[in-house]
């Protein structure tokens, strides 16, 4: 029995596909089956090694979300050599353990994994944010960039003509907004709100198709068919359309967004994940959206001292993590860090009272650097864009050719200017051996020492 318990609730946040579930799955494997030489931690004692012992997985009473079934999850993706599915609903994982080098303190950690798409609705987190405020912000963001402004033109024209008609047709406005969101998704935008459009409550995503009407088909903009909304200009606030959309917005926020953010509020530490190769492979619009979402997370976190019901009362520290560092050229790791620093700096400097640290990592290192310094792995896509099935162990690895990272974020770039390989995961066949990684130990130190 120890005198103290280091108890932390860690929220893993970031836009869809940033690597949250993979990071959490790998991290739990390392805690569960700690090999001090595979995950080297700061030692708290000169005599004892920093080793995790007496690990126990536990259910947490009172949690309303499912527990991440780590064993089942990890085994299935180890056996099938495939990455985990998209996260459809928030999951938690709770564990307790001791460290051989800590005589006085044991550890209890709770992790929360969020579906990335819900962060697109982060604007709704502010309890002062009503339908009118959300609409203004969404329309302002669309206006702020020439590309999104051009994509939004049809929608704005539809809204204008419907509002000037005696009896506006809600479905015409909703349909036009669905088409706009479909076009934004096709254009790599990460700012798709309401987020149920991008990921519905059953975890289904829109069809990936060049025709926006096909992408938009069957997608909802609210809790259900009867309760949908789209942003409207603030002038003449009291049309029947404004009233109907306001009600649908309030219901959506209450039923879908609030429970996610109630979970976020419990967190003492946040790991904010950013897929920098993914931003470069996308376009500058995806970068802008990500930067904005980081700003929204920090703004929400910065309200921790307010009386807002959404405030983060416990938040101590934030870690910004650049993920998938195994998919870049091996000599570019300093550049990866510099890009993360530059991305975060603009937003973090407005929150000097919220300490943060920067990390780069590959939670499941799935590439090798050969004797000639060339990156190798099993690519998921052929150069012609065909899906290559997961490899069998006897197959030789392919040479990979990621783009060089820029030294700093370019002023402009578009899809196709940079390319980074998507690879199949490399996981040890040995049952209790955690995956190879890059930099995961520093993140565990952050969690255990913050």
Q: Which of residues 242-281 bind ligand GTP (CB under 6 A)?
A: none
Q: Of 87 and 292, which has the nearer Cβ to Mg ion?
A: 87
Rg (CA), the chain: 23
- Select the binding partner of residue 323 from ligand GTP, Mg ion, none (C-beta < 5 to 8 A, by kind): ligand GTP
Binds 327, which of ligand GTP, Mg ion, none (CB < 5 to 8 A, cut-off by type)? ligand GTP
Residue 201 contacts ligand GTP per CB under 6 A: no
In the numeric block, the tokens 């942003």 are attached to 231
Q: What is the closest distance, in whole angstroms, from the C-beta atom of residue 315 to Mg ion in the complex?
A: 21
Q: Which is nearer to ligand GTP, 139 or 198 (CB)?
A: 198
Give min distance, CB of 352 to ligand GTP, in A. Answer: 28
DSSP code, position 118: G
The answer to whether the peptide bond before residue 194 is cis (omega within 30 degrees of 0) is: yes
For ligand GTP, the binding residue among 110, 120, 366, 441 (CB under 6 A) is 366
Short-list 213, 220, 212, 217, CA closest to 184: 212
Contact with ligand GTP (CB under 6 A) among 40, 86, 304, 337: 86
For residue 379, report the phi and psi dihedrals to the nearest 5 degrees: -65, 150
Cβ count near 350 (within 10 Å):
11
CA distances (Å), origin 4, targets 7, 98, 103: 9, 11, 10
Under rule CB under 6 A, residue 87 binds ligand GTP: yes
Q: Which residues contact 383 (CB under 8 A, 6 or more apart)?
A: none
Q: Which is nearer to ligand GTP, 83 or 359 (CB)?
A: 83
* Least distance CB 49 / ligand GTP (angstroms): 26
In terms of C-beta density within 10 A (0-12 exposed, 13-18 middle, 19 or more buried), how is residue 225 classed? exposed
Q: How far apart are CA 343 and CA 250, in angstroms?
A: 33
Which residues in 70-147 belong to E strands, given as ranges? 91-99, 105-113
Between 7 and 46, how does the x/- string for binding to ligand GTP read (CB under 6 A)?
-------x-xxxxxxx------------------------
Tell me whether residue 18 or residue 311 sits nearer to ligand GTP (CB atom).
Answer: 18
What is the nearest approach in angstroms of Mg ion to the Cβ of residue 250?
28
Residues 6+ apart with CB under 8 A from 28: 68, 70, 74, 93, 95, 111
Q: Residue 371 in 3-state DSSP?
A: coil
> How far is residue 103's CA from residue 58's CA, in Å, rounded to a whole number?
22
Site string for ligand GTP, 309-348 (x = CB under 6 A): --------------xx-xx---------------------
Name which of 275 and 332 has its Cβ closer to Mg ion.
Answer: 275
Residues that bind Mg ion (CB under 5 A): 20-21, 87
10 Å CB burial of residue 14 (0-12, 13-18, 19+) is buried
Kindly write out the interface string for residues 411-430 of this chain, putting x where it contacts ligand GTP by CB under 6 A and - elsewhere: -----------xx-------
The whole-angstrom separation of Cα 327 and Cα 64 is: 36
Q: Does 362 bind ligand GTP (CB under 6 A)?
A: yes
Least CB distance from residue 114 to Mg ion, whole Å?
8
The full DSSP string for 216-230 is HTT--SEEETTEE--
Measured from the CB of residue 408, what is the shortest distance to Mg ion in angstroms?
29
| 294 binding partner (options ligand GTP, Mg ion, none; Cβ < 5 to 8 Å by kind) | none
Selection from Mg ion, ligand GTP, none that 257 binds (CB < 5 to 8 A by kind) is: none
Cβ distance to ligand GTP smaller for residue 90 or 176 = 90
Task: Give the count of residues interacting with ligand GTP (CB under 6 A).
Answer: 24
Strand 317-322 with 356-360, pairing: parallel
User: Which two structure tokens, joined as six digits, stand for 137?
Assistant: 């912000």
436 is a site residue for ligand GTP (CB under 6 A):
no
**Under the criterion CB under 6 A, does residue 83 sit at the interface with ligand GTP?**
yes
Residue with tokens 């030692």: 43
Name the residues that contact ligand GTP, by CB under 6 A.
14, 16-22, 83-84, 86-87, 115-116, 323-324, 326-327, 362-364, 366, 422-423
């Amino acid at each position: 029995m120890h005198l103290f318990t280091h108890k932390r609730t860690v929220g893993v946040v970031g836009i869809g596909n940033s690597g949250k579930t993979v990071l959490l799955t790998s991290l739990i494997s390392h805690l569960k089956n700690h090999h001090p030489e595979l995950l080297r931690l700061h030692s708290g004692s000169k005599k004892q090694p920093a080793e995790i012992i007496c690990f126990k997985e536990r259910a947490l009473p009172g949690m309303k979300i499912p527990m991440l079934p780590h064993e089942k999850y990890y085994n299935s993706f180890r056996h099938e050599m495939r990455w985990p599915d998209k996260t459809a609903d928030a999951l938690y994982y709770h564990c307790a353990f001791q460290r051989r080098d800590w005589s006085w303190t044991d550890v209890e950690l709770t992790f929360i994994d969020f579906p990335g798409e819900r962060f697109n609705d982060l604007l709704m987190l502010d309890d002062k944010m009503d339908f009118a405020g959300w609409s203004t912000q969404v329309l302002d963001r669309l206006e702020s960039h020439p590309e999104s402004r051009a994509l939004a033109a049809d929608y704005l024209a539809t809204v204008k003509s419907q509002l000037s008609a005696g009896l506006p047709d809600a479905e015409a406005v909703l349909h036009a907004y669905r088409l706009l969101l479909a076009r934004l998704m096709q254009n790599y935008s990460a700012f798709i709100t309401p987020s149920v459009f991008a990921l519905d409550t059953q975890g289904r995503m829109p069809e990936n198709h060049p025709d926006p009407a096909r992408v938009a088909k069957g997608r909802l903009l609210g809790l259900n068919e009867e309760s949908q909304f789209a942003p409207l200009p603030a002038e003449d606030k009291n049309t029947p359309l404004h009233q109907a959309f306001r009600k649908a917005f309030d219901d959506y926020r209450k039923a879908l967004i609030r429970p996610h953010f109630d979970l976020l509020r419990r967190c003492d530490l946040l790991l904010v994940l950013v897929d920098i190769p993914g931003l470069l492979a996308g376009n500058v619009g995806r970068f802008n959206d990500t930067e904005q979402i980081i700003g929204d997370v920090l703004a929400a976190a910065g309200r921790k001292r307010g009386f807002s019901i959404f405030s983060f009362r416990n938040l101590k520290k934030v870690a910004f993590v650049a993920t998938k560092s195994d998919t870049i050229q091996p000599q570019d790791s300093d550049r990866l860090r510099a890009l993360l620093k530059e991305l975060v700096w603009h937003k973090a400097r407005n929150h000097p009272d919220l300490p943060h640290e920067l990390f780069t990592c590959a939670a499941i290192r799935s590439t090798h650097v050969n004797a000639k310094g060339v990156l190798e792995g099993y690519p998921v896509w052929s150069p012609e864009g065909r899906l290559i099935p997961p490899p069998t162990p006897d197959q030789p690895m392919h040479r990979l050719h990621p783009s060089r990272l820029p030294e700093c974020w370019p002023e402009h770039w578009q899809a196709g200017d940079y390319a980074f390989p998507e690879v199949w995961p490399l996981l040890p066949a040995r049952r209790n051996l955690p995956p190879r990684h890059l930099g995961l130990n520093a993140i565990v130190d952050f969690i255990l020492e913050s």
